Structures are given as structure tokens and as C-alpha cells.
Amino acid sequence: MSETIIRIEHLCKTFGTGDGKVEALKDIDLDIQKGEIFGIIGLSGAGKSTLVRCINLLERPTSGKVTVNGQELTALKEKDLRKARRGMSMIFQGFNLLMQRTALENICFPLELSGLKGEKGWREKRAGELLEMVGLPDKADAYPVQLSGGQKQRIAIARALAEYPQPQVLLCDEATSALDPTTTQSILDLLKKINRELGVTVVVITHEMRVVEQICDRVAVLEGGVIQEQGDVSDIFSNPRTEAGRRLVMPNGEKIHVLPENRLVRLAFNGATSGEPIIATLAAQQGICLNIISADTRTIGDKSFGTMVLGLPQDETEAARALIYLREIPGVTAEEVTDLVQ
Ligand SMILES: Nc1ncnc2c1ncn2[C@@H]1O[C@H](COP(=O)(O)OP(=O)(O)OP(=O)(O)O)[C@@H](O)[C@H]1O
Ligand SMILES: [Mg+2]
């Protein structure tokens, strides 16, 4: 049974007043389940950072409710809020490490602050274990300037988890946006490991679909301060229902020029086994040639998601046979389309 850990109801956030007023978030409703990796994706200015800052109430919502672990944060006084916030940690694009402190001292920092001080030896032992977990046991004495971007983010992740008891939620605001693709992958793998092994609920804020497809279970598409659509990553990927969703899933657009007499078919891959050469098989087994008009598919694990638009043969019988074949492929839906023709 899934259990809601973060519930956001009718959340609005407006900055400024009068002419300078910016409605950064409009009537946001969101439920994030315990133990999932939830993505919030949107372009620059969509309101992502504002939303994540409203989750831990670094930013006071203008109206609406935020409930975390059954506790309504929006109803708490500052002192109780500080305590409740400890259950949530955050990491950022810029890492935000203390430059004058070593990696180990950075990780110890939240423990020193929390009042739950304990002995120095105990703090350092815990920090050492976290260093081990993020894969940098030999960097205890390194200063941030001596670390690469990926290593800095690993230290920031260890610091985010250092609080005792361990935070249940990790909020990541563009945590991989400053990193190259390989380093991004390794940080995403680490977040996945933290989610699986420690049961931490992870909220990933990003402008990159790639990040969402790699690790998220569910995703909400944010644009103009409004959640345009939300659901399972595989659903939104294979069949975005809104313009905003399509813009993110198919950033290159699907608007194409085709000859008006061509019939088109759109294939939605919703978990088909990847690596099946559909077009080649049709040609080899049935002698039918299809044109690939556009393709935007990707592989998650060994499954394919996304869409492909094919031009059907002029010959009616061949076109019909091709459709029958395409419709029988497991994990693929095929429908004729007319809305792509300009
Ligand atoms: N403190 C603030 N005062 C006034 N306006 C703000 C403030 N913070 C954010 N905004 C505005 O709210 C809107 C959403 O900003 P936000 O930073 O949440 O977007 P974002 O999706 O995180 O963008 P990015 O991907 O560039 O980080 C923007 O129009 C921004 O200018
Ligand atoms: Mg932001």
C-alpha cells in the first residue's frame, strides 16, 4: 500500500504586489508517495524552485496547505517548523558546501547545528559512514576546491543525509544540471541507491527529461506555475496529453512536412521490448516498406518509450497489412493520424 508523505493542496505563491506581481505557483495539488522518486519537470521560470522551497517552507506559500508525514507545515509556528524541516533535506545545483571546511567537517555540520550534538567522535563516525556510502571514503580531509563537481555533489548528498534521525525526504533542485552526462549518471545512480537502500523519498526538480526517465517513478509537468499533467513516467512519455508535456517529451517538435496523400501512423511505445527491428522485420517478412517520418523514442532498461511516426505505403492493401502487423506488437499502440500534416 502506498502512503502519502508529501501532500500539497491548492498551493499558490505570489511574489510582490500591484504591477510587479508575479504569480509563481497557481493552485498546485500534488501527492508524493513514501519511498518513490518523484520528478517535477519544467522549463526555466516554470516555478520549480519556488515549488520545492514551498515544500519545506523556506518560502511561505501565499495560500494553500503543505502536509508532510501527516503534519501540516503551513500551520506550524517557526520553532516547530524548524524541527519538522529536519525530516527533509535539500541539495542544489551549486552544491553549497562550506569552502573553509573539509568534506568530513561539511558532513558533520548539520549534526553540530541541530542541538543534538553528541560527541565529536560520534559525529565523525557517522560522517565517515556517509562518506563511505557516497563512495568517497578517502576524501574526508579534502577541501571543496580539491574536489570535482560530481565529488562535491556526493559530499552535499552525504551532508543532506547526516541529520539524525536520517531525513525521510531528499529534495533535489537541479542537482545534476552543472554536471557532464557521465557524472550526472553516477549521481542519479547514487540517488537511486539512497532511495532503495535507505528508503528516502526523493523529489527531483529538473528541466531535463533525461533525468526524469533515468530515475523517476512519477512526474509532474510544471509550466507557468501550473501543473499541466502528472502521472507515471512511462504514461507521460508515451502519451503526453498536454502541449506542455509534448514540448518537454518531444523537444524537437513533431511538426513535419509530408506529402498530403500519405497516410500516417503514429506508434506509441509503452514498454515494448527495445531492440526489435520493427521496420526491418516488416520489410523482410511482409515486403512492406515504411518511411520513418519522425522518431523520438528512448530506452529505459530494456523497454522502449516514446513515439514514432511512419508513412504508410500508397497501396491500400499494403497499408492495411502494415497496420495489422503494427497493432499486434506488444507494448505498442498504433493509430492513424491526421493532425501532423501541415
Ligand atoms: N523571490 C522572488 N521574488 C520575485 N519573483 C520571484 C522570486 N522567486 C522567483 N520569482 C519568479 O517566480 C517565477 C518562477 O521562478 P522559479 O525560480 O521558481 O523558476 P524555476 O522553474 O526554478 O526556473 P529555473 O529553471 O530557471 O531555475 C519566475 O517568474 C521568477 O521570476
Ligand atoms: Mg530553479
Residue 60 Cβ contacting ligand 1 at under 6 Å: no
- Give yes or no for residue 206 CB within 6 A of ligand 1: no
Cβ atoms of residues 252 and 323 within 8 Å: no
* 136 and 38 belong to one structural domain: yes
Ligand 1 atom closest to residue 50's alpha carbon, by position in its atom list: 18
Nearest CA to ligand 1 atom 27: 44
Q: What is the DSSP string of 237-273?
A: HH---SHHHHHHHSTT---B---TT--EEEEEEEEEE
**CA 263 to ligand 1 center in whole angstroms:** 44
Q: Cell numbers for 258, please give them.
A: 509530408
pLDDT at 258: 47
CA of 43 to the centre of ligand 1 (A): 11
Q: Which amino acid is at 337?
A: V
Segments forming the whole domain that contains residue 305? 264-337
Instruction: Say yes or no: 69 and 210 in one domain.
Output: yes
Predicted local confidence at residue 341, as pLDDT: 45
Strand arrangement of the beta sheet that strand 264-273 belongs to: 291-300, 303-311, 264-273, 332-337
- Whether residue 37 sits in one domain with residue 170: yes
Closest ligand 1 atom to Cα of 225: 14
**Pocket flag, ligand 1, residue 113 (CB < 6 Å):** no
Is 44 touching ligand 1 by the criterion CB < 6 Å?
Answer: yes
Whether residues 26 and 65 fall in one domain: yes
Ligand 1 atom with minimal separation from the 205 CA: 22
Cβ–ligand 1 distance for 46 under 6 Å, the answer yes
H or E stretch covering 196: helix 181-198
**Spatial contact of 66 and 57, defined as CB atoms under 8 Å apart:** yes
Exposed / middle / buried, residue 13 (Cβ in 10 Å: 0-12, 13-18, 19+):
buried
Q: Is the CB of 28 under 6 A from ligand 1?
A: no
Measured from the alpha carbon of residue 51, the closest ligand is: 1
Same domain for 221 and 282, yes or no, is: no
pLDDT of residue 255: 42
Q: pLDDT in tens for each of the 342 residues of the chain? A: 689 999 999 999 999 888 889 999 999 999 999 999 999 999 989 999 999 999 999 999 999 999 999 999 999 999 999 888 889 999 999 999 999 999 999 999 988 877 665 688 888 999 999 999 999 999 999 999 999 999 999 999 999 999 888 999 999 999 999 999 899 999 999 999 999 999 999 999 999 888 998 999 999 999 999 999 999 998 888 788 898 888 877 666 554 444 555 688 888 888 777 766 777 777 777 778 777 777 777 777 778 888 888 888 888 888 888 888 888 888 888 888 766 543
CATH number, position 45: 3.40.50.300
- Sole residue written with cell 578517502: 138
- For the Cβ of 58 lying below 6 angstroms from any atom of ligand 1, the answer is no
Ligand 1 contacts CB of residue 49 (under 6 A): yes
- Kindly identify the ligand whose nearest atom is closest to the C-alpha of 25: 1
> Rounded distance, CA 104 to CA 144, Å?
10
In angstroms, rounded to a whole number, what is the distance separating the alpha carbons of residues 205 and 58?
Answer: 16
What angle, 0 to 180 degrees and rounded to 10, lies between the N-to-C axes of helices 120-133 and 103-113? Answer: 120
> Do 164 and 311 belong together in one domain?
no
All cell numbers assigned to 309: 511516426
Q: Give the chain's domain count.
A: 2
Q: Is residue 246 part of a domain?
A: no
- Is residue 202 located within the same domain as residue 331? no
Q: Which ligand is nearest to the CA of 17?
A: 1
Among residues 330, 31, 36, 10, which one has the least CA distance to residue 191? 36
- The answer on 274 and 136 residing in a single domain is no
Name 247's Cβ contacts closer than 8 Å, sequence gap at least 6. Answer: 43, 223
> With a 6 A CB cut-off, is 160 part of the ligand 1 pocket?
no
The cell 521560470 sits on which residue? 45
Q: Select from 239, 255, 277 the last residue of a domain.
A: 239
Distance between CA 120 and CA 195 in Å, rounded? Answer: 28
All cell numbers assigned to 45: 521560470
Q: Model pTM?
A: 0.77
